[in-house]
Structure 1
Amino acid sequence: MIIEHPAEVRGKTPFYRHLYVQVLAAIVAGILVGHFYPELGTQLKPLGDAFIKLVKMIIAPVIFLTVATGIAGMSDLAKVGRVAGKAMIYFLTFSSLALVVGLIVANVVQPGVGMHIDPASLDSKAISTYAEKAHEQSIAGFLMNIIPTTLTSAFAEGDILQVLFISVLFGISLALVGKKAEPVVDLLQALTLPTFRLVAILMKAAPVGAFGAMAFTIGKYGLASIANLAMLIGTFYLTSFLFVFVVLGAVARYNGFSIMALIRYIKEELLLVLGTSSSEAALPGLMNKMEKAGCKRSVVGLVIPTGYSFNLDGTNIYMTLAALFIAQATDTPLSYGNQILLLLVAMLSSKGAAGITGAGFITLAATLSVVPSVPVAGMALILGIDRFMSECRAITNIVGNAVATVVVAKWEGELHQAQLRAALAGEAPIEIKATSAQPAE
């Protein structure tokens, strides 16, 4: 089923009607208000918070409907495990590569060298909350938390992995019941259309949310705080840029599509993340767009929600880069053996705290607490600028998950190549589908 917007039927949509233009204008307006009227800017925080709550409200139904109907439509249930397995192999490979890239760049650029900070002079109280949260996390605890307390508690609490767990089980049960479950499947597919239409309605408020969130960030932390640690911020942004366009760009090229075209295609979601500092704000839109780009619904439903917890390329670059920055700034010598240990610990801790709010800072605290040679108190150095790096972390994570979705879909033969080419070229009509994606060519 295809629904075209009225403006598209009459002709080309005016540029100011595009969501990405509105969000970009809102971000600029938020920066100006936060800079020139900082007190007003900090008071606008509820606008950003309200928008993020609106989007989080719809995430659970989107995941459930996408995953359950996608799996129910599979003739071969072995595909579910195969898609999940291939996705995890991809996630582990590129998440680990991101950690290595951060480690290499930190050694080459050495952004913290010359600061000569005495760890004893730092206020560790500011990061005590993060350290406590990091201490509470463990791999076993994380895995146990995937199982919800009740069937409905996952939806009530909005935990992405718990909702995904329930959705996969329910989709498998529908597939196993077979013909008798068709009325339920038809109902869920019918619910998909108004659910994604609701997502489109909520996205109308995106510029307001981006304006409020950006005004608060600049009003509270100020542009001056960026300059204080510009070397670290610049190094992190440059490293993320190179990872996206060199590493992920090579992956995209090998799999027959352009990373630049993909970024243009999801530009609205990326700007939304930039404006709100929340990757969850872009999840419903990203899932919808990847399905419209020719990726089978079952693949989209499994890869993207799982990737939000396991495929954190930007967060992993940040972890090793920030850890070595702290060591360099506090004149803490780290042998290559210690750096390898840091890398191995980071590989585990990045999974143990997956899906937690503020995961980047918490996983960094968890990593440093296990490698005692680097002072945890050194995290106070980057606490003030963490907000300005969170946008880059989230944007890199989202691009990584979009690439992963296309790649896994292609591996599974569940990618409609012509539909992907049309979508990335901007030729596909705006549509919301109530049925799964077309079969691969």
Structure 2
Amino acid sequence: MSTTPAPERRRLRFNPKYFAVAVVASLVLGALLGWIAKSTGAEWLITTLDTIGSTFTNLLTFTVLPLIFTAIVVGITSLRAVGGGRTAARLGGKTALWFAITSLIAVVIGLAVGRIIQPGQGLVLEPDPERLKSIGEKTQGSWLDLINGLIPSNLVSAFSEGETLQVVFVALIIGAAAYSLGDTAKPFVDFNRSAFEVIQRVLGWIIRLAPLGTLGLIGNAVATYGNEFFAPLLKLIGATYLGCALVLFVVYPVLLRFVAKVSPATFFAKAWTVLQFAFVSRSSSASLPLSRQTAENLGVSSSYANFAVPLATTTKMDGCAAIYPAVGAIFIANLFGIQLGPVQYLTIVAVAVFGSIATAGVTGWFTMLTLTVSALGFPPEVVATGIAVAYAVDPIMDMARTATNVAGQIVVPTVVARGEGLLDDEVLNAPSAPPLLASDRAATA
């Protein structure tokens, strides 16, 4: 018998660029099929599109609660790895403080833009009128109602009844307890980390069906509501880009000029390469090497840049974790005819400021938007349907969100470095040059 090892099976690779094109193509095709169904009255086509869309939504729905719970538990317990010495603790504390400050500014801008543009307004989806009526009553409730609704009668009921706000509360309590126990809780933390990875893998498989889900959701929406469905989506894109532009080109330059004492022109000259890469790649992680080197080119101490920028890459996402959840929450609320009150707007702010820290290491637009909308008391089916509809145009929005994320991941370390005396003005004022990766520097040495 031959001992020659069998050839490795060719694996199908997931190319995000082609996937984005597929989602946009499905949006166009779904709209065309929906228009045909509406024009011809083809009930079989409408039913088919509705079945495809609802199946995709249902697949997303069952991941919502376990995703929220495990993400928060893993995120809180992951904060233990940030410590280490008084200097590190001080730098870590200041970095986290500026993360929170800039997230607060970003989410307020997101809410303001969302309130002005009102994405999703003018079109009301009603998957369950009775359930939506109960949501409307909750959003007009008092602070006492909100507090009473936080605590479940038992752990199982929070999950079985789909009470997402209660799941968030339980996850925060359990995550804090696991953090305080340290190594004693390690088996529990490891289990949640493994469970989170499993859920992420399942979610990844479901997301690969997004082109098909988009086709069904958009097709059914156009068949039901006609061309009116596109205005809310265009408003969502416009609101997201406007919010990101205000943070990227107004808020960050103000912080650089008046806090870090860094010329915004110098910052953008040295950071433009990585911002372009982030816009095209739509990945903060892929941009990390360029982001770290850009921070050093701006004069940030290498030792601090090596700590702050990687931490920011997983925690500091003003585009995905502050601006977009605020705009997206308003979009979904408008889409289902839900009126948000002051309590709900404050909840969105709180989730943006504290939620990204609570989910440190796992933060992304899907997790944060899910957490934000769920914290408002929306049931899983509304959360999943709203997110699925928004996903149809997500590749377009993700470019602006990622560029904003990466800019913030460089700006905050620059601001903190100035305050700690870790910013080298000679390096900062040196002639601008594109950031080089380690391999590039070795090749030019």
The alignment's TM-score, normalised by the length of structure 1, stands at 0.57
AA in 2 matched with 1:421: N
Structure 1 residue runs without a partner (length 5+):
1-26, 39-66, 72-76, 122-130, 160-215, 435-441
1:246/1:218 CA distance change after superposition, 3 Å:
farther
The offset of 1:219, in angstroms, is: 12
Match of 1:95 in 2: 103
Q: Given the superposition, is the C-alpha separation of residues 35 and 319 from structure 1 closer, same or farther in structure 2, using an over 3 Å criterion? A: closer
1:349 matched to 2:334? The reply is no
Query: How far did residue 110 of structure 1 move?
Result: 1.2
Of 380-389 and 293-302, the range deviating more from structure 2: 380-389
Give the Cα–Cα distance (whole angstroms) in 1 for the partners of residues 179 and 18 of structure 2: 40
**Offset of residue 296 of structure 1:** 0.8
Q: By how many angstroms is 1:90 displaced?
A: 0.6
Q: Deviations over 1:83-120 (max 9, x none)?
A: 11111111111112211111111112212211222243
Match in the other structure for 2:235: 231
Q: What aligned pairs does 1:41-440 form with structure 2 within 5 A after superposition?
A: 78-120=86-128, 138-139=171-172, 229-254=233-258, 255-314=260-319, 315-356=321-362, 359-372=364-377, 375-376=382-383, 377-423=385-431, 425-426=432-433
Deviation at 1:414, TM superposition (A): 0.9
Q: 1:429 deviation in Å?
A: 9.5
Alpha-carbon distance in structure 2 between the residues aligned to 1:399 and 1:393: 10
Q: CA deviation at 1:227?
A: 6.2
Conservation of the 8 A alpha-carbon contact between 1:288 and 1:432: no
The answer to whether the 8 A contact 1:221-1:384 is kept is yes
| 3-state SS, counterpart of residue 356 of structure 2 | helix
Instruction: Using the TM superposition, name which of 77-86 and 391-400 deviates more.
Output: 77-86
Partners of 2:292 and 2:175 lie apart in 1 by 24
Cα drift, residue 240 of structure 1: 0.5
* Equivalent residues of 2:290, 2:437 under 8 A apart: no
1:1-25 Cα shifts (integer Å, max 9, x gaps): xxxxxxxxxxxxxxxxxxxxxxxxx
Q: 1:356 aligns to what SS in structure 2?
A: coil
Q: Distance in 2 between matches of 1:86 and 1:355?
A: 18
Aligned pair in 2 of structure 1 residues 428, 230: CA closer, same or farther (>3 Å)? closer
Q: Secondary structure at the match of 2:430?
A: helix
Q: CA deviation at 1:236?
A: 0.5
Query: Residue by residue, what CA displacement relative to the aligned partner does 1:181-201 show, whole Å, maximum 9, x if unpaired?
Result: xxxxxxxxxxxxxxxxxxxxx
Unaligned segments of structure 2, at least 5 residues:
1-15, 28-80, 130-161, 197-208, 219-228
Kindly provide the CA deviation profile for residues 343-391 of structure 1, in whole angstroms up to 9, marking residues without a partner as x: 224433333333227x212222122223225842433321222233222
Deviations, residues 156-181 of structure 1 (Å, cap 9, x unaligned): x9x9xxxxxxxxxxxxxxxxxxxxxx
Q: In structure 2, give the amino acid aligned to 1:290.
A: A
2:309 partner amino acid: I
- Structure 2 counterpart SS, 1:281: helix
Say if 1:117 and 1:330, in contact at 8 Å, map to a contact too: yes
> For the residues of structure 1 that align with 2:323 and 2:356, how far apart are their CA atoms?
11
Cα distance, 1:139–1:390 mapped onto 2, change above 3 Å: farther
Are the aligned partners of 1:92 and 1:310 in contact in 2 as well (CA < 8 Å)?
Answer: no
- CA shift in 2, pair 1:33/1:364, >3 Å: closer
**CA distance in structure 2 between the partners assigned to 1:422 and 1:220 by the alignment:** 50
Please report the TM-score for the alignment, with normalisation by the length of structure 2: 0.56
* Partners of 2:304 and 2:23 in 1: CA distance: 41
Q: CA deviation at 1:300?
A: 0.7
Aligned AA (1:233):
I
Local SS of the residue matching 1:307: helix
- How much is the aligned-residue C-alpha RMSD, in angstroms? 4.4
One-letter amino acid matched to 2:281: T
Query: Among the aligned pairs, what percent are the same residue?
Result: 25
**C-alpha deviation, 1:260, in angstroms:** 4.1
Question: Once the 2 structures are TM-superposed, how far is the Cα of residue 81 of structure 1 from its aligned partner?
Answer: 1.9
Q: Structure 1 residue 402: deviation in Å?
A: 0.7
What corresponds to 1:210 in structure 2?
none
CA deviation string 1:230-266 (max 9, x = no partner) = 2111110111101111111100111222334323322
Residues in 2 aligned to 1:316 and 1:271: alpha-carbon distance in whole angstroms: 21
Q: Distance in 2 between matches of 1:352 and 1:268?
A: 31
> What amino acid is aligned across from residue 307 of structure 2 in structure 1?
L
The structure having more radius of gyration, on CA atoms, is 2
1:45-83 per-position Cα deviation (integer Å, ceiling 9, x unaligned): xxxxxxxxxxxxxxxxxxxxxx99xx9xxxxx6322221
Aligned residue pairs, count:
303
Shift of 1:311: 1.9
* One-letter amino acid matched to 2:94: K
